[in-house]
Chain A
Amino acid sequence: MEHKHVISALVLHKPGVLQRISGLFTRRGFNIASITVGITENPEIARMTIVVKGDDKVLEQVIKQLNKLIDVIKVSDMDEKKTVQRELCLIKVYAPTESAKSQVIQYTNIFRGKIVDLSAETLTVEITGDEDKINAFIDLVRPLGIKEMARTGPTALMRGPKILKPKK
């Protein structure tokens, strides 16, 4: 059964690591849906959140192969129910008229987004949330005309006090 899996990986924060990881995915035929990278509380360590699609066997291999990389410190399959997941999306919506603009502002308020830029013809909305929420917002403004959009893909942390720790 194909599932979406969110994998969290702590990696050394240095050049070439992203290339190693993306290269591994290509070479092994694993399909990355999205990948986000950013620094952690420790400046030498970055966290990658990788969304892959595949069955349990694929997931097991992905994790094992990631673990093999010398620059990868810790890898974990994140149980969606026990995880906080957020994604950032910027959407430039076509809104040349006052009524269109007020409609977008209204939608943005309901979704607790932010208007971050404005022009005569467009409004740019910043929205964060889980994948479904962002999809819902996109569906809502699509009829108005989406000029441009950028999504980060989800980033995630485990709920509660549990953390991803390097092996001793």
Chain B
Amino acid sequence: MKGAEAIIKALEAEGVKILFGYPGGAMLPFYDALYESDLIHILTRHEQAAAHAADGFARASGEPGVCVSTSGPGATNLVTGIATAYADSSPVIALTGQVPTHLIGNDAFQEIDALGLFMPITKHNFQIQKPEDIPATFRAAFEIATTGRPGPVHIDLPKDVQEKEFDIEKYPIPATVDLPGYKPTTVGHPLQIKKAAKLIAEAERPVIIAGGGVNIANASEELIRLAELARIPVCTTLMGKGSFPEDHPLSLGMVGMHGTKAANYCVTESDVLIAIGCRFSDRITGDIKAFAPYAKIIHIDIDPAEIGKNVRVDVPIVGDAKIVLRDLIANLMRCEIKNKESWMERVNELKKASIPFMDYDDKPIKPQRIVKELMEALKEIDPNLKKTIITTDVGQNQMWVAHYFKVKNPRTFLSSGGLGTMGFGFPAAIGAKVAKPNYNVISITGDGGFLMNSQELATIKEYDIPIVICIFDNRTLGMVYQWQNLYYGKRQCEVHLGESPDFVKLAESYGIKGRRITEPGEIKEALLEAIKSNEPYLLDFVIDPAEALSMVPPGGRLTNIIQPVREEPKIRRACFEDIKNVRAEVKE
């Protein structure tokens, strides 16, 4: 059997049915073998989109997503997508072609040190030197990607390795993987869990921060049980959204830089803080010294390196969130849990003060109103939002949705948290829709982020993937605009995107329906029409470019939430006339 056929066999053995990729010279033997296989390959229009789609597939389904590229530029194009998956602990398998082994190191055509390139942005990576190693390496790669703290794994595949014949009978896929340096701890230490249970039972003002790890560990049910059992209010990180239903009476919404007032104040006032599957990024803690100053911190995480990395921890528990929470609940059932009436009163008072105003009738449309009507429209179709997935891009669109959209179910809100990758949302929606074909998948994006991977309109048209794209269109890099207004004396440098393209015409040029919405009264109807159409659909919402979000300044205290003020900006912008003038001064 040829190496390439063995790769297909290995993928099939792992249960892979769908791949996202882009062929090229060094990967041709693989694509030739693919011709004969039952695997479905989705040809994206850029490798970065293939990586994001595989990532979206993984986040929505919990199964590993697979993306493929050729060597050299194909591999470098995958990099941003793989780094995104790494930052958010998403199990993605990235296959790259490589020049034949005898040419490696000679700067051959389309050669790049892919092993070195992917090393710092993957959980692990391999370069296969001989086809005999394919079965065992693929088994190890999938094992590493999907267990412990999940993450992307990259496999570099030299062309001759793909072409060479070998006797696969002699090198079967191993039943078990033995990696001497890889033994993730899944069960939490019983003594630490007992300590945590005691602390929680005795707490007067406990708060839970649920991170992405709760979604990854599928530990939502346990989280809800814990919160209800001990009456603990729950806030989530951006990545933790969906792990706790945001319409639950104990939900505080999102915490951190763009967090709700309720969440930020509750964390600051808490006496016991239970952080689950969260890495205390700077976007969550703000000023570390002022973060949860009165709280004993219990930190549950499967990655020991996360514990104590950013904040001091009183009770560290290394383990899988689902298993640890089960044990913790069992322990807590045996404890006497303190009454929390006064804390609940305080929590509810803060929550009341956190209810956002969203009923704007303004023109241009206010983004808050779009989010509100999106919730309403979706609930008309899917009352419990069980079959609805929202992906966001990065920037203000992301934060408006993160802040205001009440996510109810795990793995239904997908966003690039750690790396903050513009261009992520739309291709990730493709992966999510492919993973969950019966779900309504809505891609919320800014105009800037959408343009970074808008070529994927061709992909959704070609494969007829019914995604609704909602562009929050302000012709501005909104988040940068806001920061320049706040921190750079309103001096707006290169954040205006201008009037092109006409997104509706752009969609139509790909054969996709598009509609521009400028009236607040049209929002819901347009959304319903797009979702119900069950075909690719682009909605261009023209929104107010000056609308900004409340936020905690970077490195600030969580309770120092500043409200945006509308300010007249000073704009810097050049045109070709200026370029000509500058060049004219240069001697011919």
B308 part of interface (Cβ distance < 8 Å) = yes
With beta carbons under 8 angstroms apart, the residue of B116, B183, B309 that contacts A19 is B116
Q: What 0/1 pattern do residues 531 to 572 of B give for CB contact below 8 A with A?
A: 000000000000000000000000000000000000000000
A12 part of interface (Cβ distance < 8 Å) = yes
Indicate if the CB atoms of A68 and B179 lie closer than 8 Å.
no
- The answer for the CA separation of A67 and B305 in the assembled complex, in Å, is 8
Indicate if the CB atoms of A23 and B144 lie closer than 8 Å.
no
Indicate if the CB atoms of A167 and B119 lie closer than 8 Å.
no
Indicate if the CB atoms of B183 and A70 lie closer than 8 Å.
no
Residue in chain A with minimal CB distance to B126: A16
For chain A, the count of residues having a C-beta within 8 Å of the partner chain is 23
- The answer for the CA separation of A69 and B144 in the assembled complex, in Å, is 11
For A19, what are the chain B residues with a Cβ–Cβ distance below 8 Å?
A: 116, 119
Residue in chain B with minimal CB distance to A75: B181
For B123, what are the chain A residues with a Cβ–Cβ distance below 8 Å?
A: 70
A130 part of interface (Cβ distance < 8 Å) = no
B124 part of interface (Cβ distance < 8 Å) = yes
* Nearest chain A CB to B123 CB, angstrom units: 7
Q: A16-B115, A23-B119, A70-B123 are in contact. Are A61 and B180 (CB under 8 A)?
A: no
For B116, what are the chain A residues with a Cβ–Cβ distance below 8 Å?
A: 19
Interface residues on B, range: 10 to 19
- The answer for the CA separation of A19 and B124 in the assembled complex, in Å, is 13
B304 part of interface (Cβ distance < 8 Å) = yes
Residue in chain B with minimal CB distance to A11: B181
B35 part of interface (Cβ distance < 8 Å) = no
Residue in chain B with minimal CB distance to A166: B180
For A55, what are the chain B residues with a Cβ–Cβ distance below 8 Å?
A: none
For A12, what are the chain B residues with a Cβ–Cβ distance below 8 Å?
A: 180-181
Residue in chain A with minimal CB distance to B125: A16
Q: A16-B115, A16-B119, A19-B119 are in contact. Are A71 and B308 (CB under 8 A)?
A: no
List residues 10-40 of chain A with CB under 8 A from any CB of chain B. 11-12, 16, 19-20, 23-24, 27
Q: What 0/1 pattern do residues 29 to 67 of A give for CB contact below 8 A with B?
A: 000000000000000000000000000010011001101
List residues 100-122 of chain B with CB under 8 A from any CB of chain A. 115-116, 119-120
Q: What 0/1 pattern do residues 71 to 104 of A give for CB contact below 8 A with B?
A: 1111000000000000000000000000000000
List residues 275-317 of chain B with CB under 8 A from any CB of chain A. 303-305, 308-309
Indicate if the CB atoms of A60 and B183 lie closer than 8 Å.
no
- The answer for the CA separation of A71 and B179 in the assembled complex, in Å, is 8
* Nearest chain A CB to B121 CB, angstrom units: 10
Residue in chain A with minimal CB distance to B113: A19
- The answer for the CA separation of A61 and B182 in the assembled complex, in Å, is 18
* Nearest chain A CB to B84 CB, angstrom units: 17
- The answer for the CA separation of A12 and B309 in the assembled complex, in Å, is 26
- The answer for the CA separation of A167 and B124 in the assembled complex, in Å, is 19
Indicate if the CB atoms of A67 and B119 lie closer than 8 Å.
no
The residues of A with any CB-CB pair to B shorter than 8 Å are 11-12, 16, 19-20, 23-24, 27, 57, 60-61, 64-65, 67-74, 166-167
- The 10 A-B residue pairs with the shortest CB-CB distance, nearest first, are A64-B305, A70-B124, A73-B181, A73-B180, A72-B181, A70-B182, A166-B180, A65-B305, A68-B305, A64-B304
Supply 26 A–B pairs (Cβ within 8 Å), ascending by A. A11-B181, A12-B180, A12-B181, A19-B116, A19-B119, A20-B119, A24-B120, A60-B308, A61-B305, A64-B305, A64-B309, A65-B305, A67-B304, A67-B305, A68-B303, A70-B144, A70-B181, A70-B182, A71-B124, A71-B181, A72-B181, A73-B181, A74-B181, A166-B180, A166-B181, A167-B183
